[in-house]
Amino acid sequence: MAETGTTTSEAQQWAEGLSSLGQRIGGRFARAEPRRRALAYLQGLLSPLERKNGWQLAEEAGDATPYGVQHLLGRAQWEADAVRNDLCAYVVEHLGDKQAVLIVDETGFVKKGAQSVGVQRQYSGTAGRIENCQIGVFLVYASAKGRTFLDRELYLPQAWTQDKPRCQQAGVPDTVGFTTKPMLAKQMIARALAARVPARWVSGDSVYGNDGKLRGWLEAQHLAHVLGVSGNHYVWLDFQQRPVAMVVQRMPCQAWQRLSAGSGSKGPRWFDWAALRLPGAEGGWQRWLLVRRQVDKPTELAYYRVFAPAPTSLAAMVKVAGTRWAVEECFETAKGEVGLDQYEVRSWSGWYRHITLVLFAHAYLTVVQAQTQTAEPRKKKAPTISATASPHCCR
């Protein structure tokens, strides 16, 4: 505890918080044994273990073998989606904000072999190249109080959905068919809306912004969004479809404003920004093409499709565009702190169970950080998300 400066009082509060978390999800487990193991799994994920695989988590829980952990993730009777619903309620309870942003993004999990569900050689943005990997699509909740995950879906390539015996062997439900990443994002956003998650915006990169069906659905929900699009994306202007790269050339010099997209590791992230109104919206709503230009490299541009109430300012759009980077922070802390990518399961249910418990652990750390900031507003620097001391107070 001395290494992190955690007081006895703080450690006790963290222990009570984790115990409360166990009680919150305890009803999802019909038997006491998996209920106990689920809490031990969360404690292990929050521990300072270097690796959080089956053997390491079992040893942390005091087990001689990983069989108990494997049973929890593979054969025990409990629904990961029900715990996901508890996660959503927990995040809203502690971090809910009407001005929040829902961020969709995916990350890759590099794997060896061909047995892990959904694995194949495919592009991984995490690795920056084609890898033998799984792809998970995630929904992050970013509010002024904190940033953490709400939901998750495993992307199942067509090569898998067309191979029924392979799917059956991996435990994929018969009802699961091929679904694109944008449509997986739509499913998660729809669940958030049905759960009355307070949020004002949706954000995502070009994987999602290039999908017209997703944008159209968001517009139908009157859900404001700032979604990246690629340089070869087309927009309607002057009754013609024009590539965004060509449209930018017509923007006057006075249209550009230098604004910060938020603070990064080196301070404010300054860019030049411009927004061009696009036709087609009505009922007090407006479409825009938002463009970001590098200050020192003006030929490097990024493009966004925006849909929002007509009075929305350029600064408000820029703030949402900058908030999207929160998802990268969440992936980094989830992999570095709570073992998001350190699982050894191969089955459909195993993946969802591990990932769901990891997201709950990440949410717990985010809530602890938010509570610490609220309790100690005079401190100049907020504590970083770390679980170094927490497991010792939770045994």
Q: Residues 160-176: pLDDT tens digits? A: 999 999 999 999 999 99
**Residue 8, pLDDT score:** 60
**Residue 215, pLDDT score:** 98
**Residue 2, pLDDT score:** 36
Bridge partners, residue 103, by sequence: 140, 203
**Residue 291, pLDDT score:** 97
pLDDT average, residue stretch 200-206:
97
Determine contact, residues 288/280, Cβ cutoff 8 Å: no
**Residue type for 259, please?**
L
CB atoms closer than 10 angstroms to residue 90: 20
Beta strands in the chain (DSSP E): 101-110, 120-124, 129-143, 146-155, 201-204, 224-229, 234-237, 240-243, 257-264, 267-278, 285-293, 301-309
Q: Is residue 214 part of a domain?
A: yes
- Which of 276, 169, 290 has the alpha carbon at shortest distance from 225? 290
Q: Is residue 277 part of a domain?
A: yes
| Count: domains in the chain | 1
- Which of 355, 348, 382 has the alpha carbon at shortest distance from 366? 382
φ, ψ of residue 348 to 5 degrees: the values are -60, -55
Q: Is residue 282 part of a domain?
A: yes
**Residue 238, pLDDT score:** 80
pLDDT, tens digit (0-9, with 9 covering 90-100), for 208-241: 999 999 999 999 999 999 999 999 999 988 888 8
Determine contact, residues 271/292, Cβ cutoff 8 Å: yes
**Residue 9, pLDDT score:** 61
267 against 336, higher pLDDT:
336
The percentage of the chain sitting over the pLDDT mark of 70, rounded to a whole number, equals 92
| Sequence-separated (6 or more) residues with CB below 8 Å from residue 137 | 104, 105, 106, 152, 153, 154, 155, 181, 184, 185, 188
Q: How confident is the model at residue 275 (pLDDT cuts 50, 70, 90)?
A: very high
Q: Is residue 130 part of a domain?
A: no
Judged against a pLDDT cut of 80, whether residue 13 lies above it is answered with: no
pLDDT average, residue stretch 366-394:
55
pLDDT, tens digit (0-9, with 9 covering 90-100), for 295-339: 999 999 999 999 999 999 999 999 999 999 999 999 999 999 999
Among 120-129, 287-296, 301-310, the least confident range: 120-129
Judged against a pLDDT cut of 90, whether residue 391 lies above it is answered with: no
Q: Is residue 245 part of a domain?
A: yes
What does each C-alpha distance from 145 to 80, 318, 333 come to in angstroms? 26, 19, 17
CB atoms closer than 10 angstroms to residue 142: 26
Q: Which SS3 state, helix, strand or coil, does residue 281 take?
A: coil
Query: What whole-number distance in Å separates Cα of residue 156 and Cα of residue 135?
Result: 8
Q: What residue numbers bound the domain in which 277 lies?
A: 206-323
Q: Which helix (H) or strand (E) holds 87?
A: helix 80-95
pLDDT average, residue stretch 5-32:
79
pLDDT average, residue stretch 44-56:
91
Q: Is residue 252 part of a domain?
A: yes
First and final C-alpha spacing in the chain: 14
Q: Which helix (H) or strand (E) holds 336?
A: helix 326-337
Q: How confident is the model at residue 376 (pLDDT cuts 50, 70, 90)?
A: low
- Which of 90, 92, 98 has the alpha carbon at shortest distance from 224? 98
Determine contact, residues 115/168, Cβ cutoff 8 Å: no
Q: pTM to 2 decimals?
A: 0.91
Q: Is residue 64 part of a domain?
A: no
Burial 282-314 (b: 16+ CB within 10 A, else e): eeeebbbbbbbbeeeeeeebbbbbbbbeeebeb
Beta strand pairing status for 101-110 and 201-204?
parallel
Mean pLDDT of the chain, nearest integer: 90
Determine contact, residues 24/88, Cβ cutoff 8 Å: no
Query: What whole-number distance in Å separates Cα of residue 303 and Cα of residue 275?
Result: 10
Q: Is residue 315 part of a domain?
A: yes
Query: What whole-number distance in Å separates Cα of residue 61 and Cα of residue 37?
Result: 8
Q: Among 99-108, 243-252, 265-274, name the most confident range.
A: 99-108
